[in-house]
Amino acid sequence: MKRGVLVAGSANLDFVVRAPHVPAPGETVLGNGFATFPGGKGANQAVACVRAGGAPTRMLLALGDDVHAAPIEASLRGAGVGLDIVRMRGTATGVAFVCLAGDGENAITVAPGANARLLPEHLPPLADVGHLLLQLETPLPTVEAWAREARRAGVQVALNAAPAQALPRSLLGDCQLLIVNEGELAAISGRQGIGAGLDALDAPAVVVTLGARGCCARVGGEYLLQPGFAVNAVDTTGAGDTFCGTLVASLSLGLPYPAALRHACAASALACTRLGAQTGVPRQDEVRRLLAARPGDATEALAAYVGIA
């Protein structure tokens, strides 16, 4: 079995301001701390794949020719992600402006820069790739072309359909695994309710993350529930990315879905206890320790919330 994971997607530098609350439209809030962190859904998920998930991981990304590119590259290399970098001359590196509120909530604005110029032909050879992990922070026609090519090459395609947008049926048809949060599920399925949303999407496996509650999934005709791990959340930025990267890494290493979902929930819970999207991704041994300390959780409350018996 080919075990390598290729993540193809976005890489940004995150400019993070801590503030008492997320500003409402038109409001200015005085923050109380500023830092930059490497981010972008693709890069965050690649770091999660290799660090929390322990899978050999490469990433296809685009960087501009400005000062924001170097910290992104250094973070990915430092984590042990192999890189296929497309360098875009005369283009800004992607950036994100993150407001992080005291209660762990956030609001994010992204300027995609070089990410928006990724093209179908940038996909590297897939010879050693078992799983391709995609998001929607790169142009949709490019994502569609990558998924199509990977599927033709026998690669398992996983799509984190975030940020939410309408998806062509053909793209869903090329994906073996779709990962969404509750808002994305409603937007993409057009259905009210988690059970109805899960059933409306054609992909063989659909996973819905439910914040602190954990996650649920439909794999084939079977429904799976994984309660969240209770933690003291200080920064939920990148929780979903840690979940996606750890899930795909776990699957690529041969774990069955129930165990892979448990790993992903544990890793993403730990990520919430630390600042920064990539800096917050835990190591694999930390994930294992949490899993060992928490052998099983009751699923009744989650089942009632999801509406699946």
Active site residues: 241
With respect to ligand ADP, which residue has the nearer C-beta, 175 or 215?
Answer: 215
Comparing CA positions, the residue from 119, 94, 81, 79 lying closest to residue 40 is 94
Of 211, 274, 275, 279, the one binding ligand ADP by CB under 6 A: 211
233 near ligand ADP (CB under 6 A): yes
**Distance in Å, CB of 244 to ligand ADP, minimum:** 8
For residue 272, state whether it binds ligand ADP (rule: CB under 6 A): yes
Question: Which residue bears the tokens 């569609």?
Answer: 144
Q: Residue 209, interface with ligand ADP (CB under 6 A)?
A: yes
Mark the segment that binds ligand ADP (CB under 6 A) among 4-12, 79-87, 228-236, 282-290.
228-236
Site track 185-204 with ligand ADP (rule: CB under 6 A), x = hit? --------------------
Among 69, 145, 157, 269, binds ligand ADP (CB under 6 A): 269
Interacting stretch for ligand ADP, rule CB under 6 A, among 81-89, 112-120, 207-215, 282-290? Answer: 207-215
Q: Interface with ligand ADP includes 215 (CB under 6 A)? A: yes
Binding of residue 101 to ligand ADP (CB under 6 A) = no
Handedness of CA 162, 165, 72, 150 (dihedral sign): positive
Q: Which is nearer to ligand ADP, 52 or 59 (CB)?
A: 52
Told to check if 240 binds ligand ADP by CB under 6 A, we report yes
156 or 237, CB closer to ligand ADP? 237
Supply the minimum distance, in Å, between the C-beta of residue 160 and ligand ADP.
Answer: 8
3 to 42, contacts with ligand ADP by CB under 6 A? none
Of 163, 206, 168, residue with least CA distance to 306: 206
Q: In angstroms, give the least distance from the CB of 215 to ligand ADP.
A: 4
CB of 19 to ligand ADP, least distance (A): 19
Residues found near ligand ADP in the complex (CB under 6 A): 181, 209-212, 214-215, 228-229, 231, 233, 236, 239-240, 243, 265, 268-269, 272
